[in-house]
Structure 1
Amino acid sequence: MRIAFIGQKGIPVKIGGVERYVDEVAARMAEHGHEVFVYVRNHYTPRKLQSYRGVKLVHIPTIKTKHLDAITHTFFATFHALFQGYDVINYQSIGPSSLCFIPKLLLKKTVVISTYHAQDYYHKKWGWFARGFLKLAERVTYKIPDRTIAVGESIRDYGMKNYNADSIFIPNGVTLLGRAGSLNLFKKWDLKRGKYLLTVSRLVPHKEIHTLIKAFAALKAMKKIDSSWKIVIAGGGSYTDGYVKQLKAMSRGRHDVVLAGVQKGERLSALFKNAYVFVQPSRSEGLSLALLEAMGAGLAPLVSDIPENLSAIQGNGFVFRTGDVFDLINKIEYLIGNPSKVKNMG
């Protein structure tokens, strides 16, 4: 079959759960003999790269601004796709899925699928107009395609309750991490095995990284944990320069808060496999690939109590109240003081 993916920034993945999802799924479909096409944005995927892991990359222009990047790229990609004879077109996320009605109306022999990753209208980076549009796009995602894939149980259940939509629950999966590099890769940060908390995330407000920094700084100020402990925050911004500046300001002058930037490969494996606990403080998720990777690496997770996180850990981890700095302080203090509990949960 000829299968097209539309809506992601591109592959190979640099950052982003949707991009990681498409990277893995598209490549596996190509391995099974399908002809797979992934539409990519030139600011994410180098223009000279025409194929990757057996997948053909289709470079389509976009208007690179916070509000227009995804939707303009999706529009141009959709127009291009109308003339390519695809058997399946798979839209990623609710924003791009708002345009899935075009091939649904015009291509009677093409199966149109939307994959619902997360309730993007909860993301704090969007204003009222964008959130309203995303709510409308959500309705389209559930009602228009031939099938809708929900990556989390809560997304499937939400669709049934609010739209009477029978979406298919196909949970995200991850490849277990390969050979880990040594912490010597990070000499400038002086990281010690089992002496730092790790979070891996895009630096966007709904991920609540500021809450983690506040809690950790308070623990240090109250001298409830010794000075050797650190937190490592791996990831980059996504049209959120203001929020990134806020995090840098909060960590300025602190040797114990490491803004590590985007990490991948052996360097990311080293961070996962040498951390003490993985912390996911987010206010909104789909089914977090970073959380699944952390658990696959044997890390005990400490997560906010949103349904998507609870569904992912299935009782195999620790939980705090979303956005509650004081509860997070107490949970971190408890975990650092009880290594046997952490080990049993890892």
Structure 2
Amino acid sequence: MKIAMIGHKRVPGREGGVEVVVEELTAQLVHMGHEVTVYNRRCRGVSRQKSFNGARLIWVPTINKKSLDAVVYSFFATLHALFGRYDVIHYHAIGPSVMLFLPHLLGIRTVATVHGLNYKTPKWKGFAAWYIRLGEKIVAKYADEVIVLSRDAQRYFQCAYGRKTCYIPNGVQLRQIRRPVRIKNSWGLEGDDYFLYLSRIVPGKGLEYLVDAYLRLQQPRPKLVIAGDSVHVPAFYQSIREKVEDCPDVIFTGFVQGELMDELYSNARAFVFPSEAEGMPMCLLEAMSYNCLCIVSDIPENKEVMEEHATYFESKNTNALYRALERFLLPAPRPNTRAYAAQRFSWEKIAQKTCSVYAGKEVEDGCCDGADAGL
């Protein structure tokens, strides 16, 4: 099968969950014998390699502005893909999926994965929020198949549009659990002596609540490590920095990946994820794969992933998060969630189900029979 991937930023890359999904899914599809082309966004300072893990990479021009980046990229990527003779074009995220109507008009099979209802977060406002909602409507009406990552999103599409969808969660790749070597050299972290936040530093992730709750903890307390980047939202990042400018216990690592990421997950007292809205949080899957204790907001998407394997607090409630952190001021045994994550969130099984969706076959959790939403 000849497949195109559109919607992410770039592969290889870990800017967000969408990029991880496209990279892992593509690797599995290539291993299964499919021909995959991945449409990357051009970016200064990033080498434009022509292939990765057996997939062809095509670099598409875009505009480095938050409100226009996905619009321009997905337009040019779709134009190129229209002439690629693909069996299926797979769009990721509802913003880039606005362009899905073009291959639909030409009779090219399309699949869209809804990675989250992004307009629900404060990161997106004005034109960007409107455009993302337009993408949602186009996905519901025109996509041959729609994949969702949570039962909550599945219920939403059924209630809002009468649209059947296919539930296929994200997967996780088990990586090595490592001793604190690099993080000790870089930041003096010994292991089990810090709370970890590892995600993008953007509005909607609840980081401001975490910082406020942490600053209320009495000494002695674990450090707080904030790992991630802040693309397009420097003002928000600066507001977080200002909150903790007099607190040496808060460490900003910037974007991390590879062995450094392994060490941060492997040695955290607890992983904290206070997000206000998600599709399916990759960082929680990763945290479980390292046997992390997890303190997470009680939004449906988090609870669906973690089930009984987390300590929950009320979303956007600083007092509730403070009380949750307080429970882990002293060391606690690490859970054995690695096996659970590997069994439930296998990339191999996810790729097999996705191929069934490409072919229009029923999958175990019930897939739509095509675009039948009345808008």
TM-score, with structure 2 as normaliser: 0.86
d(CA) in 2 for partners of 1:49 and 1:270? 28
Q: Answer whether contact 1:203 1:244 (CA < 8 A) is retained.
A: yes
Establish whether residue 101 from structure 1 lines up as the match of residue 101 from structure 2. Answer: yes
Give yes or no for contact 1:207–1:284 (8 Å, CA) kept in 2.
yes
CA distance in 1, matches of 2:89, 2:286: 28
Name the CA shift for 1:291/1:5 in 2 (closer, same or farther; >3 Å): same
* Residue of structure 2 equivalent to 1:164: 162
**Secondary structure of the equivalent of 2:95?**
helix
Cα offset for 1:64? 1.6
Aligned to 2:309: 316
Match of 1:273 in 2: 266
Does the aligned pair in 2 maintain the 1:12–1:45 contact within 8 Å? no
Counterpart of 1:87, as a letter, is D
2:86 maps to 86
Residue 265 of structure 2: SS of its match in structure 1?
A: helix
SS at match of 1:149: strand
Aligned to 2:127: 129
**Superposition deviation, residue 45 in structure 1:** 8.1
Distance 2:123 2:231 in 1: 9
Does 2:59 correspond to 1:66?
Answer: no
Measured against aligned partners, the alpha-carbon deviations of 1:122-142 in whole angstroms (never above 9, x if no partner) come to 221222332222222212122
1:87-121 deviation digits (Å, cap 9, x = unpaired):
11001101011110110011x2x320000001110
Secondary structure of 2:224's aligned partner:
strand
Partner of 2:111: 113
Q: How far 1:277 sits from its partner (Å)?
A: 0.8
Shift of 1:344: 7.6
Shift of 1:158: 1.1
**1:11·1:45 contact (CA, 8 Å) conserved in 2?**
no
**Shift in Å, 1:194:** 0.9
Match of 1:146 among 144, 147, 172: 144
Match of 1:197 among 177, 186, 195: 195
What corresponds to 1:50 in structure 2?
A: 50
Tell me the distance in 2 between the aligned counterparts of 1:345 and 1:111.
Answer: 38
Look up the equivalent residue of 1:226 and give its one-letter code: P
Q: Secondary structure at the match of 1:130?
A: helix
Cα distance change of structure 1 residues 86 and 184 upon mapping to structure 2, 3 Å threshold? closer
What residue in structure 2 maps to residue 285 of structure 1?
A: 278
- Structure 1, unmatched stretches of 5+, are none
8 Å contact from structure 2 (residues 289, 337) kept in 1: no
- Provide the C-alpha distance between the structure 2 equivalents of 1:230 and 1:283, rounded to a whole number of angstroms: 23
Q: Out of 155-164 and 173-182, give the one that drifted further.
A: 173-182
Question: Residue type of the partner of 1:336?
Answer: L
**1:334 alignment partner AA:** R
Number of the residue aligned with 1:28: 28
In 1, Cα distance between equivalents of 2:330 and 2:245: 27
Q: 1:73–1:45: structure 2 CA closer, same or farther, 3 Å change rule?
A: farther
Residues 142-162 of structure 1, C-alpha deviation per residue, up to 9 Å, x if partnerless? 221000000112111111121
Q: Aligned equivalents of 1:344 and 1:63: distance in 2? A: 44
Equivalent position SS for 1:20: helix
Q: How many residues align?
A: 338
**Residue 226, structure 1, aligned to residue 220, structure 2:** yes
Question: Alignment RMSD, CA only?
Answer: 1.8
Structure 1 Cα separation of the partners of residues 161 and 184 of structure 2: 49
Using the alignment, how far apart are the partners of 1:254 and 1:334 within structure 2? 21
Aligned partner of 1:302 among 280, 285, 295? 295
What letter matches 1:8 in structure 2? H
Match of 1:331 in 2: 324
Q: Helix, strand or coil: the match of 2:329? A: helix
Letter of the structure 2 residue corresponding to residue 208 of structure 1: G
Q: Which amino acid aligns with 1:326?
A: N
Alpha-carbon deviation of 1:345? 7.8
**Structure 1 Cα separation of the partners of residues 187 and 48 of structure 2:** 35
Q: In structure 2, give the amino acid aligned to 1:180.
A: R
Partner Cα separation in structure 1 for residue 284 and residue 189 of structure 2: 21
CA contact (8 A) 2:269 2:331 kept: no
- Cα distance in 2, alignment partners of residues 336 and 345 from structure 1: 21
Structure 1 residue 276 displacement after superposition:
1.1
**What is the one-letter code of the residue matched to 1:190?**
G
Do the aligned residues in 2 keep the contact of 1:300 with 1:345 (CA within 8 Å)?
no
Separation of aligned partners in 2, 1:140 and 1:332:
42
Of 87-96 and 183-192, the range deviating more from structure 2: 183-192
Counterpart Cα distance in 2 of 1:111 and 1:129: 28
One-letter amino acid matched to 1:174: V
The answer to whether the Cα contact below 8 Å between 1:179 and 1:269 also exists between their aligned partners in 2 is yes
Q: Where do 1:242-261 residues align within 5 Å?
A: 242-261=235-254
In the alignment, the residues of structure 1 paired with residue 241 and residue 165 of structure 2 have an alpha-carbon distance, to the nearest angstrom, of 40
Aligned 8 A contact 1:181 1:267 in 2 = no
Amino acid at match of 1:117: H
Aligned-pair CA distance for 1:44: 7.1
Query: Aligned to 2:99, what secondary structure does the other structure show?
Result: coil
User: Which residue is equivalent to 2:173?
Assistant: 175
Specify the alignment match of 2:76 in structure 1.
76
Higher relative contact order (CA 8 A, sep 6+): 2
Percent identity over paired residues: 35
Post-superposition, which runs of at least 4 consecutive aligned residues in structure 1 deviate over 4 A? Answer: 342-346
